[in-house]
Amino acid sequence: MADKVTKTLLHSIELQQYILDTSAYPREHQFLKELKEATMEKYGRLRELNVPSDEGLFLSMLLKLTGAKRTLEIGVFTGYSLLTTALAIPPDGQIIAIDTDKEAYEVGLPVIKKAGVEHKIKFVHSDAIPVLDNLVAEKENEQGEGFDFVFVDADKTAYASYHERMMDLLKVGGLVVYDNTLWYSTVRMEEDEAREYMRSNEMMGDDLDGFIAGRASIVGFNKLLASDPRVEISQVSIADGVTLCRRVL
Ligand code: SAH
Ligand code: CA
């Protein structure tokens, strides 16, 4: 029997469920559970865009291990990864969070306030590229410090453009984390196969072309990162694939 399409690389839903039930959900912060519930109430199963809990714990671990203070998030939705970041960084840590969808951000905002971490967040309601360009200009003018940590999870067709800006905005030694770099495991397939795979599983029915465009971009992006001497990389097989890039030049 074919597995249902799952965003996880482990093509066993049971094994993924084991990880979530055994080690992720018991450690998931109460406020993150609440934020997920608020998201589900508003959007139902139609827009399951938040990172899964095991990935949330992984991001939290990275933030703490690197001691990140100045952070950036591109693609917020209702704020699961954002709240994860806000809870993981120190009290004087900061997050610039960019999204074109303010309504979604407002779904999670009451929980973020309740968690007492809203003061760390500056939400920017905009397409990401112009905001990144402004940040690059500001940094050059004021010779600012650069970011310690960036989580990229917005428009997949723009990942290469985001990456160019990251090479200006990150501190040398800073970390940028790209989400969904395995794109429902379709990165290894030919386009026709990927299309059929998604169609037969009744996923992305309304935006199959968008999905396929995202896939092509991610495939190209993975190759680009592999040959970029400015970063050290590690593609991690968690969730839908997460690529860590440490700026070295
Ligand atoms: N990181 C979030 C999920 C983000 S979902 C979490 O794990 O909880 C992707 C988000 O990217 C959506 O909310 C969408 O509005 C946003 N997005 C898509 N294209 C964008 C763009 N060009 N600029 C800024 N945000 C964008
Ligand atoms: Ca994502």
Cβ-contact 111, 188 below 8 angstroms: no
14, burial (CB in 10 Å: exposed 0-12, middle 13-18, buried 19+): exposed
* Number of C-beta neighbours around residue 9 at 10 A: 15
Alpha helices in the chain (DSSP H): 13-19, 30-43, 53-66, 80-88, 102-114, 128-142, 159-169, 191-200, 208-226
Per-residue pLDDT tens over the stretch 135-183: 999 998 887 789 999 999 999 999 999 999 999 999 999 999 999 999 9
Find all residues with CB under 8 Å of 194, minimum gap 6, and list them. 186, 212, 215
Beta bridge partners of 113: none
The rounded Å distance from CA 103 to ligand 2 centre is 18
Ligand closest to Cα of 126 equals 1
Q: Where are the domains of the chain?
A: 13-247
Is a pLDDT exceeding 50 seen at residue 11?
yes
Closest alpha carbon to 177 in 161, 163, 158: 163
Tens digit of each residue's pLDDT (9 = 90 or more) over 95-110 = 999 999 999 999 999 9
Atom 10 of ligand 1 has which residue's CA nearest to it?
75
Ligand nearest to the CA of residue 80, numbered in listed order:
1
State the distance from the centre of ligand 1 to the C-alpha of 91, rounded, in angstroms.
25
Homologous superfamily of 13-247: Vaccinia Virus protein VP39 (3.40.50.150)
Minimal-distance CA residue to ligand 1 atom 1:
76
